[in-house]
């Protein structure tokens, strides 16, 4: 396999899209796809597909295409999801409860193994087979479950302190849904998802189209 540290960030961010399309091809019992067909399924172009895959090693056969099953396995390995990765959900408000009910996590290689909240009315309640733990027990929960990823759906003013505790407990990756930028060690990967920002970007495009 090629040096994965040399893969551009933009390519890495497109790999889940390719995997989603390849899984769809699998469901349709398509044994082979070429770059043009995959590009059409993913909403990109064939040249981009070939360029992105060039960073992953020698894939496919010229004039024939890519073996779907082999490519699914290869991209899954590159993304590190050949085994379920354990995650804790911190914050069980409306956003957190919606996330917990999303079936796509397990399908994409992730398992939420614990739910944590600071609200005494929620602590101890059962949600989808998990008992909501108290934020005071955060470190113990992370250790006991062996989680390495945290999903933060917490109030903005509490997010940094919660992140600090998670990092101290051994969390190595954070998906932050709160509208605040986190300060964490370089060894901890952070993905920021801000819905209000995304809506503002959509608004920009709507405004431009109206001109």
55-66 tens-digit pLDDT:
988 787 787 889
Q: Quick one: pLDDT band at residue 204, thresholds 50, 70, 90?
A: confident
State the pTM of this model. 0.77
User: Is the confidence at residue 94, as pLDDT, over 60?
Assistant: yes
pLDDT of 2 reads 52
3-class secondary-structure state, position 36: helix
Distance (Å, rounded) from C-alpha 25 to C-alpha 5?
A: 28
Q: Which residues, in sequence order, are CB contacts of 210 under 8 Å at separation 6+?
A: none
pLDDT of 193 reads 87
pLDDT of 130 reads 93
The whole-number average pLDDT for the span 106-135 is 92
Q: How many CB atoms lie within 10 A of CB 113?
A: 19
Residue-wise DSSP of 166-196: HHHHT--EEEE-SSS-----TTSEEEE--HH
User: Is the confidence at residue 100, as pLDDT, over 70?
Assistant: yes
137-148 confidence digits (pLDDT tens): 999 999 999 999
Q: Which residue do the tokens 């899209």 mark?
A: 17
CB 111 within 8 A of CB 85: yes
Q: Quick one: pLDDT band at residue 177, thresholds 50, 70, 90?
A: very high
User: Is the confidence at residue 170, as pLDDT, over 70?
Assistant: yes
* Domains and their CATH numbers in the chain: 4-78 (1.10.10.10), 85-197 (3.40.50.720)
Kindly report the backbone phi and psi dihedral angles of residue 66, in degrees, each rounded to the nearest multiple of 5, phi listed first: -115, 135
pLDDT of 104 reads 76
User: Is the confidence at residue 1, as pLDDT, over 80?
Assistant: no
Strand ranges (DSSP E) for the chain? 32-33, 66-67, 85-90, 110-117, 126-127, 130-131, 133-134, 149-152, 173-176, 189-192
CA distances from 83 to 38, 102, 150 (A): 25, 19, 17
Strand partners, 66: 33
Distance (Å, rounded) from C-alpha 153 to C-alpha 92?
A: 7
The pLDDT mean for the chain works out to 90
């Amino acid at each position: 396999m090629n040096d994965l540290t040399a893969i551009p960030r933009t390519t890495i961010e497109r790999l889940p899209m390719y995997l989603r399309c390849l899984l769809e091809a699998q469901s349709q019992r398509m044994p082979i796809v070429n770059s043009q067909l995959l590009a059409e399924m993913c909403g990109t172009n064939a040249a981009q597909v070939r360029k992105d895959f060039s960073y992953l090693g020698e894939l496919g056969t010229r004039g024939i295409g890519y073996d779907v099953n082999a490519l699914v396995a290869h991209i899954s390995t590159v993304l590190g999801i050949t085994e379920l990765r354990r995650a804790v959900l911190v914050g069980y408000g409306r956003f957190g409860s919606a996330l917990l009910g999303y079936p796509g996590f397990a399908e994409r290689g992730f398992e939420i193994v614990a739910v944590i909240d600071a609200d005494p009315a929620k602590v101890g309640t059962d949600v989808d087979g998990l008992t909501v733990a108290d934020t005071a027990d955060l470190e113990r929960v992370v250790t006991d479950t062996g989680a390495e990823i945290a999903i933060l759906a917490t109030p903005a003013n509490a997010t940094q302190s919660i992140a600090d505790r998670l990092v101290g407990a051994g969390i190595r990756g954070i998906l932050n849904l709160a509208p605040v930028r986190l300060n964490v060690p370089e060894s901890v990967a952070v993905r920021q998802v801000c819905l209000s920002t995304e809506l503002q970007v959509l608004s920009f495009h709507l405004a431009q189209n109206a001109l």
